Structure 1
Amino acid sequence: MLAVSHRIRPASYKATINTVRKSAVRFVSTKPSSDKYKVVVVGGGSGGLSVANQIYDRFKTTGKPLKGSDVAIVDAEEYHYYQPGWTLVGAGLRPKTDFRRQLDSLIPKHIAHIPENVKLFSPKSSSITTETGREISYDVLVVAAGLQINWDGIKGLSGALADPTSGVSSIYSYNTCDKTWDDIESLRSGNAIFTQPAGVIKCAGAPQKIMWMAWDRYRRTNRIDNIKVDFYTGMPTMFSVKKYSEALNILREERGVGGYFQHNLIAIDSANHKATFKKTDGTAVDVDYTLLHATPPMGPLNVLKNSPIVDKAGWVSVNQDTLQHTNPEYSNIFSLGDCSSLPTSKTAAAITAQSPVLTENLFSFMDSGKVNDAKYDGYTSCPLLTGYGQLMLAEFKYGLEPKESFGHLVDQGKSQRIFYHFKKDLFPAAYWNLMVKGKWFGVDGVFRPKF
């Protein structure tokens, strides 16, 4: 029920990020340093931190503990972000500084931190090469590199995000999530448009979460009669799972929110406050906006697209049950989270279920050369904010079938106040105190599942 990435930024901030990366490479790490590790984890996001800690802890329980120089996380980012919090920032509920920590501070001393980014994957030699040319060998590789947001995939978006008068914002960046709240709060009348692209994105419910919060804010402050709220989505329905989609569509109709399906945002003219959408028949339509919340298209990292470990779409190709690579020649490679080919929604809720499965199979592989019976069923979750004090908790598995934790107690197709407080209060605390430390196992809570 959590989702995070620490590597997605608007293109307009590239200069700043490049400076940060150069600084990160100059860090003098106090962690053990070596060019050969038993386990190398690429990525220090929610997936990387969670699984690296769980792997170390799993070996510790067997009487064959790993050494401080056995596990390494490779990532040059200075900061780690809790991205679900950005929706709370955009809704005016929390300051964005609550959702950022120094990455190095989250990596325990018994795990090495290599503050560099990967440039090349060489699975045949069981090694990776960093951007500085350093070659790192491994017995087992875990790829948890996340995805990238293609800010330049929408013409004019980066410039509009940098312009405080454009009325354009996005909760998909730490740098702009507070602008979302400023824009929502300052709007007194006009057209408020919220967009979602076609295709795979991180946390597919987020584009409408912020829309529902804005709508409710306008209702509570007596502005809703002067503001028209519309949802433009490249998808054919409100949500991928039928049960929740139908409930959300009823909510949309009850609240008078316009629904424009299979409309994909392709350009923004911020000077004239016009947005251009492309429809499935190839035609384009221009729409006037006063406020525009944009969700950019997303996809695999460039470093993965050309590597030998990915499928045709650019995702790390793994078995959907075991999370082991599908190529027998690369059996010592595992992957989880947003960069993987797993056919489920890309959220950290999914990672909480994936991490213990990957850990158990990796442990078994290192011990016997074969994976265990641990299987991932595709569980993921999307806590859908529908207003202040309201949240619809969508939980499902492979096949887009609901897999609900509280379905025997309440109808999870309806918004509940207690779920709202899960999102606002419980989940952030569980994330910082448990998940990034490898102590949170999804629906099993703090208890590591047995396989």
Structure 2
Amino acid sequence: MLPASRTMLQASTSRRVVAAALSHIRSVSTGAKDHYKILVVGAGSAGLSVANQVYDRFKSEGKSLNKDDIAVVDAADYHYYQPGWTLVGAGLKPKTDFRRPLASLITPHVTLIPENVATFTPTASSVTTTEGRTLGYDTLVVATGLGINWDGIKGLSSALADPTSGVSSIYSYNTCDKVWDDIEGLRSGNAIFTQPAGVIKCAGAPQKIMWMAWDRFRKTGRGENVNVKFYTGMPTMFSVKKYSDALNKLRMERGIDGFFEHNLTAVDVANHKAIFKKADGSTVDVDYTTLHATPPMGPLKFIKDSPIADKVGWVSVDQGTLQHTNPEFANIFAIGDCSSLPTSKTAAAITAQAPVLTENLYSFINTGKVSDKARYDGYTSCPLLTAYGELMLAEFKYGLEPKETFSAFLDQSKSRRLFYHLKKDVFPTAYWNYMVKGKWFGTKGLMRPSYK
């Protein structure tokens, strides 16, 4: 063999050895397999709940899955209890209470693949990650959440990053504590709270923080000097008439001005102005001293651009079974904020959706079809903080029809201290100790629903 050829062969061999070593390292760090019985995309509230509930469902029938049969794909370093950010903005809890390393929440029977999905190929039952890895599946659960468009409001991102801007938002871990700083720092002027038109996470959250701020101003002697105003892109205070009427009555009793069908489009920090677009297309500039902004939200781009999305961009699923509407993609299910389910996008909704999806997924794996019994009725809940020590517990289902837990003996359109402590104390504890472990079933508590 010629020296040059031998050198080239040695170099080629060396590259193959290095490549094999790197491949092995990646395989060990991201899960040794490239095909899973159940692949869950997203390790948020929905993804972790389903991954653990599915494992328990098989175990309950004596059909235990292997340790590496279920994988969750998510490159996030941390997992967040997002409903807690309102409590942070209200000064009730430190934000560190609502963040934990994602790896610490992965149970022994679930494999974490610390990558993000880039594309879906449902015809081949596979996904491709941003690292270029192809993962095959027997069944797929999409639980990616939705996207927050911070740049959908001109000037908002830079305003949130400016500690002197007076602009804040409870819709991110990095900014929720700034809300409390701005509320505490305000002595007089206009306190503006906004909500966009369209779908957002927990549609009641933008006014929850408003009610808490109003109460804080009142209790600290600043109420007469601060004008609280609510600007919403929606036509009413809330989507369900029963609660909307109660909230609007409360707004008027408390002297809070309401401006409906007003969408925040820009923030002018230099002049402390918020620019709103009205239903007729005209704009109005509003002076603010402090501004709580809720950004517009929508489907994530990689979902919207995929073949599993509907025309809007949500994963297209049957509203009862949570199975994909395309019969060719029958091995795909979706849950939570990324799905096309026509209900409010809340953690409470996930607690009702997860056992239904779990049952239908279990049935599909075993019989090739979903259960005859397991159906989601659209249940969701919005615990509406209305003051310190007060909360209105809105619960409803498809059709915006109330479906209340305590209606037999309480009027849930009235704010109560009992409900307040559910939001402040019970729900966060149940979340960390039970829900992400697949042990919490919403209004049924620790008892998994039976679909016999």
Q: TM-score, normalised by structure 1?
A: 0.93
Go from structure 1 to structure 2 and tell me whether the alpha carbon gap of 1:29 and 1:274 turns closer, same or farther (over 3 Å shift).
Answer: farther
Structure ranking higher on relative contact order (CA contacts 8 Å, 6+ apart): 1
Partners of 1:103 and 1:369 lie apart in 2 by 32
User: What's the secondary structure of 2:450's corresponding residue?
Assistant: coil
Go from structure 1 to structure 2 and tell me whether the alpha carbon gap of 1:27 and 1:236 turns closer, same or farther (over 3 Å shift).
Answer: farther
Q: Contact (CA 8 Å) 1:344, 1:378: kept in 2 or not?
A: yes
Match of 1:182, as an amino acid? D
Q: Contact (CA 8 Å) 1:395, 1:404: kept in 2 or not?
A: yes
- The aligned residue for residue 354 of structure 1 is 353
Q: Deviations over 1:349-375 (max 9, x none)?
A: 000000000000000000000100200
Go from structure 1 to structure 2 and tell me whether the alpha carbon gap of 1:127 and 1:27 turns closer, same or farther (over 3 Å shift).
Answer: closer
Q: Aligned pairs, how many? A: 426
- The aligned residue for residue 409 of structure 2 is 409
- The aligned residue for residue 18 of structure 1 is none
User: What's the secondary structure of 2:82's corresponding residue?
Assistant: coil
Q: Deviations over 1:320-368 (max 9, x none)?
A: 0000000000000000000000000000100000000000000000000
Match of 1:386, as an amino acid? T
Q: Contact (CA 8 Å) 1:383, 1:394: kept in 2 or not?
A: yes
- The aligned residue for residue 386 of structure 1 is 386
**Structure 2, unaligned stretches of length 5 or more?**
1-24
User: What's the secondary structure of 1:224's corresponding residue?
Assistant: coil
TM superposition shift of 1:31:
7.7
TM superposition shift of 1:33:
2.4
The CA RMSD measured in Å over matched residues stands at 1.1
- The aligned residue for residue 74 of structure 1 is 73
Match of 2:393, as an amino acid? L
Q: Contact (CA 8 Å) 1:31, 1:111: kept in 2 or not?
A: no
- The aligned residue for residue 233 of structure 1 is 232
TM superposition shift of 1:125:
0.1
Partners of 1:174 and 1:28 lie apart in 2 by 31
- The aligned residue for residue 441 of structure 1 is 441
Partners of 1:33 and 1:190 lie apart in 2 by 59
User: What's the secondary structure of 2:62's corresponding residue?
Assistant: coil
Match of 1:409, as an amino acid? F
Match of 1:331, as an amino acid? A
Q: Deviations over 1:45-72 (max 9, x none)?
A: 0000000000011011112111011000
Partners of 1:315 and 1:33 lie apart in 2 by 31
Partners of 1:411 and 1:67 lie apart in 2 by 47
Match of 1:162, as an amino acid? A
Q: TM-score, normalised by structure 2?
A: 0.93
- The aligned residue for residue 377 of structure 2 is 377
Match of 1:432, as an amino acid? W
TM superposition shift of 1:90:
0.3
User: What's the secondary structure of 1:84's corresponding residue?
Assistant: helix
TM superposition shift of 1:32:
4.8
TM superposition shift of 1:29:
6.2
Partners of 1:131 and 1:306 lie apart in 2 by 15
The runs of 4+ residues in structure 1 deviating greater than 3 Å are 26-32
Q: Deviations over 1:118-147 (max 9, x none)?
A: 011000000000001000000000000000
TM superposition shift of 1:106:
0.3
User: What's the secondary structure of 1:292's corresponding residue?
Assistant: strand
Q: Contact (CA 8 Å) 1:267, 1:275: kept in 2 or not?
A: yes
User: What's the secondary structure of 1:101's corresponding residue?
Assistant: strand
Q: Percent identity?
A: 73
Match of 1:291, as an amino acid? T
Go from structure 1 to structure 2 and tell me whether the alpha carbon gap of 1:300 and 1:409 turns closer, same or farther (over 3 Å shift).
Answer: same
- The aligned residue for residue 343 of structure 1 is 342
Q: Contact (CA 8 Å) 1:43, 1:145: kept in 2 or not?
A: yes
Q: Deviations over 1:106-126 (max 9, x none)?
A: 011211000000011000000
Matched, 1:219 2:218: yes
Match of 1:119, as an amino acid? A
- The aligned residue for residue 183 of structure 2 is 184
Partners of 1:319 and 1:403 lie apart in 2 by 21
Matched, 1:426 2:420: no
- The aligned residue for residue 15 of structure 1 is none
Match of 2:79, as an amino acid? H
User: What's the secondary structure of 2:100's corresponding residue?
Assistant: strand
Q: Contact (CA 8 Å) 2:30, 2:114: kept in 1 or not?
A: no
- The aligned residue for residue 63 of structure 1 is 62
Q: Deviations over 1:192-239 (max 9, x none)?
A: 000000000000000000000000000001101000000000000000
- The aligned residue for residue 87 of structure 1 is 86
Q: Contact (CA 8 Å) 1:393, 1:412: kept in 2 or not?
A: yes
Q: Which moved more, 1:168-177 or 1:60-69?
A: 60-69
User: What's the secondary structure of 2:199's corresponding residue?
Assistant: coil
Go from structure 1 to structure 2 and tell me whether the alpha carbon gap of 1:128 and 1:28 turns closer, same or farther (over 3 Å shift).
Answer: closer
Matched, 1:208 2:207: yes
TM superposition shift of 1:409:
1.6
TM superposition shift of 1:270:
0.6
User: What's the secondary structure of 1:39's corresponding residue?
Assistant: strand
Partners of 2:155 and 2:26 lie apart in 1 by 35
User: What's the secondary structure of 1:271's corresponding residue?
Assistant: coil
Q: Contact (CA 8 Å) 1:267, 1:276: kept in 2 or not?
A: yes
Q: Deviations over 1:64-101 (max 9, x none)?
A: 11101100000000000001111000000000000000
Q: Deviations over 1:375-396 (max 9, x none)?
A: 0000000000000000000000
- The aligned residue for residue 115 of structure 1 is 114
Match of 2:420, as an amino acid? Y
- The aligned residue for residue 10 of structure 1 is none
Go from structure 1 to structure 2 and tell me whether the alpha carbon gap of 1:329 and 1:28 turns closer, same or farther (over 3 Å shift).
Answer: closer
Go from structure 1 to structure 2 and tell me whether the alpha carbon gap of 1:258 and 1:28 turns closer, same or farther (over 3 Å shift).
Answer: farther
Partners of 1:211 and 1:61 lie apart in 2 by 45
Match of 1:380, as an amino acid? T
Partners of 2:202 and 2:57 lie apart in 1 by 29
Which residues in structure 2 correspond to 1:24-423 (within 5 Å)?
32-372=31-371, 373-423=373-423
Go from structure 1 to structure 2 and tell me whether the alpha carbon gap of 1:29 and 1:166 turns closer, same or farther (over 3 Å shift).
Answer: farther
User: What's the secondary structure of 2:236's corresponding residue?
Assistant: coil
TM superposition shift of 1:27:
8.7
Partners of 2:28 and 2:301 lie apart in 1 by 27
Partners of 2:175 and 2:51 lie apart in 1 by 30
**Structure 1, unaligned stretches of length 5 or more?**
1-25
Q: Deviations over 1:242-296 (max 9, x none)?
A: 0000000000000000000000000000111000000110000000000000000
User: What's the secondary structure of 2:275's corresponding residue?
Assistant: strand
User: What's the secondary structure of 2:395's corresponding residue?
Assistant: strand
Go from structure 1 to structure 2 and tell me whether the alpha carbon gap of 1:410 and 1:268 turns closer, same or farther (over 3 Å shift).
Answer: same
Q: Contact (CA 8 Å) 1:29, 1:113: kept in 2 or not?
A: no
Partners of 1:260 and 1:157 lie apart in 2 by 20
Match of 2:86, as an amino acid? T
